[in-house]
Structure formats: structure tokens, C-alpha cells
Chain A
Amino acid sequence: MQILRDDSIGILGRVTGLLGSWRRLFLGAASLAVFIALWSLYSAWLHGDWPFAYRSWSQPAEYIPYPSEVLYAFVDSFTHRDPFTSLYMTSHIYASLKRMFFGFVLAFLVAVPLGLLMGRSANAEAIGKPLVELFRPIPPLAWVPIFLIALKLFWGPIAIVFLGIFFPILLNVMFGAKSVDPVLIDAARTLGAKRRDIFTKVVLPFTIPYMMTGIKVGIGVGWMCIVAAEMLGAVGGGVGLFIYNMAYQGTMYDRMYAGMLVIGLLSVLTTGAAGFLEQRLSRWMGMK
């Protein structure tokens, strides 16, 4: 299991000192600008607009609308009800966030204790590992039809998101609990710590950064699953349902991309919040 850490930007930051954060901001903005410029060019090529004199491709130009059209559709989704579900984007976001929240809470409550147990007990690992390895690679999408029927319309989509978040947290916590430096444990034991103390004072704090990494990765995967979870039977809408409807029922690709943008932004915001919490936690625990 790879542990993801944010070292890449750190190096630049250190080199340039105080100017580092500005530079980072500039580079970030520049990469977005280049992306949007390339996108505009590609769209122009498909549409046969300036600077291209002719329509270059047989595919309908609607497939890649201009960035401005997507931005317009994005704003429009908040100010007008969508043509299929008659809901505003805020309702879709609320519905998706609710699913993410329930899925996350469940995944957290199940994965953290399980991960700690499997990380600290060889027997537990021997029992759990085959099941984890068997179920981990199954795409949540594969479970959709049966979850919808077995777990019903409310819990079915949540269970899909749960699966996406569950495994990253479980594996990271397990890895963290396993990699506690034995020297720390010996030192605690020498100082007269009991098993319970070692667990609460050494293992648990040591695992928290790993857990936070698992949470950040898990939230990202959870958002990836939301379209699959909400494609069908989504009660009260959802951003995933919005994307599905725009793509399959309406072929309104500008709106479909707007829905994707919403997912991207939601993921940035939620993983950002987790990152912020991580920073706070590690500062509070005296690790930074």
C-alpha cells in the first residue's frame, strides 16, 4: 500500500521561501489556464470555428462544448430546475452529500476498528486478509443491481459509496497499525505500560496520520462511485443522477460536464476539509 504524501509542492516551497506559496498559486492557475485553452482549441476544431476554417470531424460537435458553455450550464443548474427531475443543483448536491456522509460514517466506523485489529493481530489478519483481497477489486458498480433490491432505495446507493470509502481506510489503518516502531512499544513497556496503554497511547496515535490518508483517498473514491450509486433509483436526485440523465436521456453534454465539474469541486472541498483536519490533528498531537 502506497502512502500518499504531499512532498512535491513542499520542495518548491522550501526553495523559494516566502515566495513559495505565490509561486504555487501561479503554477496552479497556469495549469488550469493551459487546460482550458487546450479544451477551447479542441472545441473550436470540432465546431469548425476560428482558428479552424472547416469542421474537421464527423462526430457531433456537441460532444465537447466550449468551456464557456459548460460554465453557463453550471450556473444555470443552480438558478433553474433541471428538465428531468425538476430539481435545483443544490438539491442534487444535498442528496449526494447525504449519501456520501452516511457512506463515510459507516465506512469509518467499520474500517477503523477492523483495520486496527487486523494491523495488531496476526490471527485477525489471517482471517480477514483473504476476504479483503477477494472483495476489494470488485467494482462497486457490479453491486448496484443487487444492492438496490436487497438494501432498498435508501441504503442501496449508500452501500455503493460505502464500498468505495471502506477499503482505502481499512488498508491504510491496517498498514499504520502494523508499522508502529517496535522500539516505541518496547520503550512504553519498559516504562510500565500495560497492553491497553500501549494501544491507546502508542498504536492509536501512531495510526492517525495513516487513517487520515485513508480518509482522503477514500473520499475521492467515494465520489467516483456516486454516479454508479445514483444512476438508478436515486431518491431525491443526486449529482450522479443529474449526470446520467443529461448524458443518456437528454444528450445535453454541456450540462453533463457541469455535473462532472460539481463532483470534482465537491471532492476537492471534502478532501480539502479532511486535509485541514489532518493538519490540525497532527499539529495538535505535536507531530509538526
Chain B
Amino acid sequence: MMTGVAMESKIIIAIAVAAVVVVGVVAAAVVLMSGGEGGSVKYITLAPKDMKANLASGQIDAYIAWEPFVSDSVVGDVGEVLMWSDEIMDDHPCCVVAVRTGFLSETSVNGTDLTNRFVRAHVDATEWMLDALADEAGANYTKLVEMAVQFTARNESVVKAAFVHIQFGYEMGSDFEEALKKFTDMYIDTNMTTEEKLDERGYESVSDFVSSYVDDFYLATAPNVAESATILNPDRPIKLGYLLGDLHQLAQFVAQDKTVLGTDKSMFEKYGLKVEAAVGAPFANGGAEMGGFAAGNVDIGYLGAPPTILQHLNAGIGTKIVAQANSEGSGLVVSAGSGITSLSDLENKTVATPGESSIQFLLLKIALEREGLDLEIKT
């Protein structure tokens, strides 16, 4: 097997050469890596739950996310809010209530009627929250904070700070549709979806798509929904999708709470609904929840508007938007004491976003474009 001394020296030489090459390439790569560029704001994608820690460790200079991930850093003295999302686009859409079209035509129960009742409970819960928030000295405010603490696993001060910038609401006005049109246009501009996909789903234009995808039938008829003494769907509960600890979606938590009404019945039960968390809920992000819709595991769900739009168009997942859950409530956070006081200070800095299709990313892009800055992936 071995052929004497020559063998040994060959091996040693080979190892030495390999080592030199390896060290050389590593060194060259490190040198190449450190070369900087100029002219724009750099972004990376991070899960909102990881943003605070990355801001604290100096990995990123700023991030844009939804509540409570904004107040998390502010209350923890890690970050300061440079700009709230409503300063970028007033009353911009955020989370919505979506229903699976397959559920509407469900035969074992009356899917349309159940959806109508669900929307009514959502409206009641949202109004209860708005009333509670209007009076910070009231017992209901304390109760709401308690529920929010439980749902988000945050402390009271984070939750209270977060409430200030979230606009809960269910109405889907013309501003809402206009904003969705703008977002869809931006998706088409960047090829996240295409005109061909619109056509494939049977829509003539962006506005045709938005006006039929946003279905306000259920909101319009919600006031006519009657209470029910019995549960109408005992054997076929509504499978509810929602995101992990997303404060924007607190309405579903309130609607499930049996103590809010003081009648031992939750708002869902008041209207005869049995509601269960869907398999996989709480979901980590809207994309995963759309997967639940596609698989038929979710009947009605709370999630951000972008994944419903993109995945409906791109993958043909049968959903529609039946109500809003909130507007506003996101913020651009910079690290505390960083000296960043304006958007232009962000030039060449690294900002974390939840992903290119998120509303937060679109808003950041809109805000930077106004300052003449580009948003580019960090390299």
C-alpha cells in the first residue's frame, strides 16, 4: 500500500499546499467582504421576534416591524422610534380577516351564515376594544391590557405603549381599497406578482381584483345578525387562524373570552358559533397561515393583507377579505443613542424588515423613495 519515503513527503506537501490555498482564499474572501458600497439603505430579512436582540447586539442599525415588536425595544431602552407607520401612510391597512371560499360553500354547515356571524362577533369585539381604549381609567381598559398581556406574553408597559399606535377597526372604506391597490401595483412593479396572474385568476385589472377580493357583504349584513341561544355548529367548529402574539389581532382573543360580556358566554358563543384554533395556529407568519387556508385547515383567519393578496394571485388559494382588523401600528426603530434622527441618516446603514412582501417593507420603501434613497439587500 505504501511506497516508501516519497509517499510521505508527497502527502506532507499536499497538505501544506492545501493549507496555504485555504488560508489564502479565506483571507481574500474576508478582505473582499469588507469592501463597502455607497448610496442606499441596506436591508436584511429577520423574524420580528429576533429584531430586538439583533438591534441590541449591533448587527442592525434599525428595523421596521409591527407591534408589540416596536414597543418591545422602546420599553427595553434598546431602541427609539424614528417614525411611526402612520407618518408614512395615514391609516394604512395592516391585518385583515380573511375567509376561505371553500368554507363559504361548505355543505355540512351553512358556511355563509357562520361567516356572517363571525364577522358580527369581530365587529362587537373591536367596538368593545375601542370603548375600552377610550377610557384608560375604566375597568375594561384594565381587562383589555390583561388580555393583551396574556395573548402577547409581554408585560403591561409594553402592551400599553403598543396600544397607542394601533388603530383597531373593521370598516373597509375606499381608503382601504386604494391602499391595497397601491400595494398590488407595487407588487406588479417588482414582479412579485404579474398581470398574467391577475388574468389567470379572472381579474381584468388591479382595481377589478381589489374590489372583488375585498367583499364587504358580510360587514354590511352584520348588523342584521341575530343572537343564538344554541350553538349552530357543534360538530363542525370554525377553524380559526391567527399569528403568534400579534397584538393587531387581539379582537379574536377578546371574542373568545367568556368574561367580557359578563354572561358566561363569549362573543362567538353569543352568536351561536363554536370556534377552535386551527391546526398549526398560532402561525409564525401570514405565509404559513395561507398554507393552512390552502390545505383547508383554516376557515377564517386574521393575517396581514400582503400574504392574502400575493398567495391568492400567485398560487390561486381561494380566499377573500371580509373585514379589517386594524390599521397603522408599525414603527421604524433605530438603536438607542445611535444619533440617527432622520431617514437620510439611514444611508448605508442596515435595516431589518420582515420580508420584501410585508407592508412594513413597502412602507419603508415608500418613505425612503420620498427622500431619494433606494432600499437594497445588504451584501
Contacts and interface: CB of A to CB of B under 8 A. Distances in A.
The answer to whether A and B interact is yes
Contact of B192 (A91, A149, A184, A249): A249
Interface stretch (B50-58, B225-233, B248-256): B50-58
Contact of B316 (A60, A145, A248): A60
Given A205-B1, A285-B7, A250 B314 contact: yes
A249 B356 CA distance: 8
Nearest to B194: A83
A85 B353 CA distance: 12
B11 A149 contact: no
A236 B190 contact: no
Interface string B278-316: 000000010110100011100000000001001100111
Nearest to A145: B50
A12 B45 CA distance: 50
Nearest to B357: A249
Interface string B1-31: 1110001101110000000001001100100
A250 B192 contact: yes
A148 B54 contact: yes
A63 B22 CA distance: 42
B263 interface: no
Contacts of A148: 46, 50, 54
Contact of A202 (B2, B46, B192, B287): B2
A236 B378 contact: yes
A102 B29 contact: yes
A284 B33 contact: no
Given A102-B26, A249-B287, A201 B7 contact: yes
Nearest to B26: A105
Contact of A250 (B10, B29, B316, B357): B357
B250 to A, nearest CB: 24
A251 B356 contact: no
A247 B285 CA distance: 12
- Chain A interface helix/strand/loop/mixed: helix
Contact of B355 (A98, A109, A245, A252): A245
A149 B59 CA distance: 8
B376 interface: yes
A60 B317 contact: yes
Contacts of B59: 149, 152-153
B357 A205 contact: no
A62 interface: yes
Contact of B294 (A60, A205, A245): A60
Contacts of A241: 45
A86 B314 contact: no
Contacts of B288: 248
25 contacts: A58-B296, A84-B357, A85-B377, A86-B376, A101-B29, A102-B29, A109-B22, A148-B54, A152-B59, A153-B59, A204-B11, A232-B46, A232-B47, A233-B44, A236-B377, A236-B379, A237-B377, A248-B285, A249-B310, A249-B356, A250-B357, A251-B311, A286-B1, A286-B2, A286-B3
